């Protein structure tokens, strides 16, 4: 597809100021929503609209405006109001985000923040960021050091600064990593802070300490333990669930059903480092099995070669993977020996009878 800009002009008929006001929303919020999601520019005067953008996106925006204007038709003399949820659904149903043209690799997945531009360092990271842009729910699964959490925070900051969302919510299960930390003093935020330190570090790097503190005071950036998410519906938000391998099946289902209109969720985790009590099933493992066929959800798997920390970290991860595979083979061999012995004893017993 061509990346050249397309300019389209349409007149929405019949011209009706009240219907046009409903279509555009307060302070043109509905128009701005379409612009942000599709990457187009829309100008209008009365019932004349001009759309500028890439070919597919421009035509999609034009059809969305036409369809939404039809929905403003009066019912028993009352103009139908076009809410943000209606605009969100219209964009999703148009499939415009899936059909849109892509830039060259590197440009497509480039993230701009106040402190600079963040680019993926390998193909897996590039696909991961691209999927965050294109899907409402994205899973990043793999070992430590592959950039799962850092890139998710970068995408959240980018969306916030471009006003695509109104707030960032950080959450994770409060499960200790194999050690008992005891009682943690302070209020709720202070108790959960130690668990969310990697997310904070990324935010401080991208926005600066003072900016992050100010946004947290305004609840634009919110910290919430996963257990406190029940019953909420999160609209216009970018939600990051970190260390998701330590969620239970019930917690993962609860979290995924909290996501509202115009929201994105990124779920990160490492299925090789589950700290749940023995016998408890990881919600992340279960989600991979249950949701793998849902088109709207993206799964991204990182390997040891994707580690972008000190080179020795990649070798450490590989060593543990080899050890895990060796242990698995030993367990399988022991089980085969037990099964063989059991079969022999059963045959001998049958022969005696």
Q: Which residues pair with 300 in a beta bridge?
A: 140
Query: Are the beta carbons of 276 and 175 closer than 8 angstroms?
Result: yes
The pLDDT profile of the chain, 353 residues, written as one tens digit per residue, is 445 678 999 999 999 999 999 999 988 989 988 887 787 899 999 999 999 988 888 899 999 999 999 999 888 888 888 988 788 778 877 766 554 444 333 334 567 666 667 777 778 888 898 889 888 899 999 888 888 988 999 999 988 888 888 999 988 887 544 444 455 555 555 666 666 777 788 888 888 889 899 999 998 998 878 877 877 878 899 999 999 999 999 999 999 998 888 899 999 999 888 888 888 899 999 999 999 888 789 999 988 777 765 556 666 767 777 787 788 888 888 888 888 887 877 777 766 66
Exposure string of 79-92, with b = 16+ CB inside 10 Å and e = fewer, is bbebebebbbebbb
DSSP-assigned letters across all residues of 285-306: HHHHHHHTT-TTEEEEE--GGG
Please give the pLDDT value at position 215. 92
Domains in the chain, CATH or no CATH each: 5-99 (3.30.1370.10), 111-309 (3.40.50.300)
Residue 182 in tokens: 């005891």
Query: Are the beta carbons of 310 and 167 closer than 8 angstroms?
Result: no
Please give the pLDDT value at position 331. 84
Residue 301 in tokens: 């798997």
Please give the pLDDT value at position 133. 86
pTM of the model: 0.61
Please give the pLDDT value at position 310. 54
Please give the pLDDT value at position 173. 84
Please give the pLDDT value at position 105. 32
Cis peptide before 227 (omega within 30 of 0): no
Query: Are the beta carbons of 63 and 95 closer than 8 angstroms?
Result: no
What number of residues does the chain have?
353
């Amino acid at each position: 597809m061509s990346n050249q800009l397309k300019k389209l002009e349409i007149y929405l008929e019949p011209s009706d100021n009240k219907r046009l006001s409903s279509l555009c929303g307060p302070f043109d919020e509905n128009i701005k929503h379409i612009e942000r999601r599709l990457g187009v520019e829309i100008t209008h005067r009365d019932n004349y609209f001009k759309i500028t953008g890439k070919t597919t996106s421009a035509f999609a925006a034009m059809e969305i405006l036409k369809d939404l204007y039809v929905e403003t038709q009066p019912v028993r003399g009352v103009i139908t109001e076009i809410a943000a949820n209606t605009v969100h659904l219209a964009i999703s149903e148009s499939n415009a985000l899936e059909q849109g043209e892509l830039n060259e690799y590197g440009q497509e997945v480039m993230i701009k923040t106040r402190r600079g531009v963040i680019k993926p360092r390998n193909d897996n990271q590039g696909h991961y960021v691209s999927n965050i842009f294109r899907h409402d729910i994205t899973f990043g699964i793999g070992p430590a050091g592959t950039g799962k959490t850092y890139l998710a925070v970068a995408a959240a900051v980018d969306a916030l600064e471009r006003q695509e969302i109104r707030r960032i919510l950080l959450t994770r299960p409060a499960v200790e990593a194999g050690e008992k930390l005891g009682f943690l003093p302070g209020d709720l935020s202070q108790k959960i802070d130690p668990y969310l330190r990697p997310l904070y570090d990324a935010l401080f790097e991208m926005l600066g300490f003072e900016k992050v503190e100010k946004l947290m005071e305004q609840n634009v950036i919110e910290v919430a333990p996963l257990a406190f998410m029940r019953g909420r519906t999160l609209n216009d938000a970018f939600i990051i669930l970190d260390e998701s391998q330590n969620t239970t099946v019930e917690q993962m289902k609860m979290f995924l059903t909290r996501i509202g209109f115009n929201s994105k969720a990124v779920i990160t985790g490492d299925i090789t480092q589950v700290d749940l009590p023995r016998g408890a099933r990881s919600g992340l493992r279960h989600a991979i099995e249950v949701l793998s066929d849902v088109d709207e959800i993206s799964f991204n798997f990182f390997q040891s070669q994707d580690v972008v920390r000190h080179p020795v970290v990649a070798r450490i991860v590989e060593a543990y993977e080899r050890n895990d595979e060796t242990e698995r083979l030993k367990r399988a061999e022991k089980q085969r020996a037990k099964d063989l012995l059991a079969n022999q004893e059963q045959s001998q017993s049958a022969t005696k009878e």
